[in-house]
Structure 1
Amino acid sequence: MKQMIILFSLIVAAMANAQNQRFIYEYKFITDSTAKDKQLSETMYLEVASKGSKFYSKDYFQSDSTMRAITEKDTESISINLGDFKFKGKIRYNIEKMYPEYSINFFTTLGSDEYLVQEKRKQDWKILPEKEKIGEFNTQKAVCDFAGRKWTAWFTTDLPIQDGPYKFYGLPGLIVKIEDNTHSHSFELKGSQKLPAGYEWKSTKDKERYHTLITINEAKFKKAYYDYRQDPMKSQKQMLAEGTIIEMRDSTGKLLDPVEASRKQEAAAKANIKKQNNIIELDLLK
């Protein structure tokens, strides 16, 4: 990283103004309940500015920016060389919280469709007396039920912003660590950076895109998520039916048969979905 990560011992002194900071979290997760020994991890950023915060995967954001630069060359025909480009990062969503009301926009993709889910849920925190030192922070315990899981958070008033990783917010200080009671999903603060000079908070909904952003509420997204798990290639099939040309090539640049390539892609997608049985929001599976 070009910017020096501020060590925990220095963060508090730098946080007289908690805005314009990028908080770096380690996200550890197990999405396949049949393979609990295969824990994955991802570096996540929580960027805090005066307008609000953004939460996203460091690696996926970089890959997405590169892919968008490539596809900007041609909006009618999309040629994908499977050997030349691979997305980094396993977390494909990003989350915005708008201050001061902390309204949440959840951006994610299902197949080739991109969704904006306008969140209305809030966490009903219960703050407990237990305190714990995590790194250089003095933290206090809080618990809540959210999205089908029971969560334990440790927050610090040393960082006076009521925000945290993922969709979590509403405690009297920044969430330093949060984990569900099955130890399947956890976020822990690992460092901080100042955002670049001239940083401007812009919503993901305003970025240029080739397909319409689908804006829905939580109930409709749950239905869309169920439908996607049943037919993960539905949106791609619709694109082909509408005349979109999608070329797929192997690592040598050889053009693949679209029917065979799609069949293999669908089989891989369905196999991956079967392993996504322990997702962070369990209530989406019910």
Structure 2
Amino acid sequence: MKKIIFGLLSFLGIATYSQNQRFSYEYKFVRDSTEKDKAETEVMLLNVFSKGSQFYSKDTFDSDSIINEEFKKQSKGGSMDINLTGFKAKGKVRYQIEKNYPDYSVNFFTQLGSSEYMIQESRKIDWKILPENEKVGEFNTQKATCNYVGRVWTAWFTTDIPIQDGPHKFHGLPGLIVKLEDKTKSHTYELKGVRKFSNENEWKSFKDKERYEPLIVLNDKKYKKVYLDNRADPNKGLRSLLAEGGKVEMKDASGKIMDTNQIMKDREKKQVEANKKNNNPLELDLLK
């Protein structure tokens, strides 16, 4: 009964306090576990609405918005010859996460190859709330720990902001997560800004955005297999497309059409190099 009451009070807190709030986090992460001194930084945004929250990279969102608008502009005349030379994608974090209130179901949106996926999260977060308190920025916070996605995490949350949410997929504490770090300190988030944004910014699910190919929906177990297959063979989807009679045409900087076999060899080489460096994903259990 206590859990039901707590959940209801939490949802009421969200509904009354947090509509159209934006929380900015500094995300520091290490891609290569053998080079922990080479940390990268990204500004991540947690937008909270009455219906749910959305978490994504600011740079990626801004960059993709510009590129999408240019694509629409060029394709208005019906031309298939789209030139996006000079429009470079920015942002190091390419996924988005959506939590739906009040049940906090979590959906993870990402792209592998040319396919876009929505992964429905089934793994639960079992928090252990501890008595320790700490001042993080301007917030009085309390400590909590959990084992999740292959890592041991420490979170500092504040009941001053009565929202059971936080960065990435993390949620379920009696207040907003202000700081979060894994045991190795190779993935950390810290709240840097809080502001309200216009009520004109209504909730719109990532799954409803305009796409040219259908969104593939998987559970997290099936996604792990797809992730590992793509990591081992980045051309798997391309081979399937070609086997079905599809055609791939890419041009180099001079406008010359590139050889498909050479494209595939280049992709395989780049993937092997990337795998060596990208050995420390936040969700470490993907590699186990």
TM-score, scaled relative to structure 1: 0.88
Partner of 2:65: 65
Q: How does 1:1-286 map to 2 (within 5 A)?
A: 17-72=17-72, 73=75, 77=80, 84-286=86-288
- If asked which structure has higher relative contact order (CA below 8 Å, sep 6+), I would say 1
Please report the RMSD computed on the Cα atoms of aligned residues, expressed in angstroms: 2.1
What is the Cα deviation at residue 256 of structure 1?
Answer: 3.0
State the AA in 2 paired with 1:181.
K
How many percent identity over aligned positions?
58
* Counterpart Cα distance in 2 of 1:271 and 1:222: 20
Larger fraction in strand: 1
Q: Is the 8 A contact 1:80 1:248 kept in 2?
A: no
Relative distance call for 1:159 and 1:233 in structure 2 (3 A) is: same
Partner of 2:9: none
State the AA in 2 paired with 1:229.
R
* Counterpart Cα distance in 1 of 2:52 and 2:245: 40
The Cα offsets for residues 77-126 of structure 1, whole Å up to 9 and x where unpaired, read as 57565x52321011111000000000011111111111111112221111
* Counterpart Cα distance in 2 of 1:272 and 1:71: 28
Structure 1 residue runs of 5 or longer lacking an equivalent are: 1-14
Secondary structure of the residue aligned to 2:250 is strand
Q: Is the 8 A contact 2:18 2:50 kept in 1?
A: no
State the AA in 2 paired with 1:192.
V
Secondary structure of the residue aligned to 2:170 is coil
Q: Is the 8 A contact 1:163 1:173 kept in 2?
A: yes
* Counterpart Cα distance in 2 of 1:196 and 1:47: 12
What is the Cα deviation at residue 193 of structure 1?
Answer: 2.3
* Counterpart Cα distance in 2 of 1:128 and 1:184: 22
Larger fraction in helix: 2
Runs of 4+ in 1 over 6 A off after TM superposition: none
Q: How many residues align?
A: 271
* Counterpart Cα distance in 1 of 2:229 and 2:104: 29
* Counterpart Cα distance in 1 of 2:50 and 2:18: 9
Structure 2 residue runs of 5 or longer lacking an equivalent are: 1-14
What is the Cα deviation at residue 245 of structure 1?
Answer: 4.2
Partner of 2:5: none
What is the Cα deviation at residue 16 of structure 1?
Answer: 7.2
Relative distance call for 1:244 and 1:259 in structure 2 (3 A) is: same
* Counterpart Cα distance in 2 of 1:87 and 1:233: 21
What is the Cα deviation at residue 65 of structure 1?
Answer: 2.1
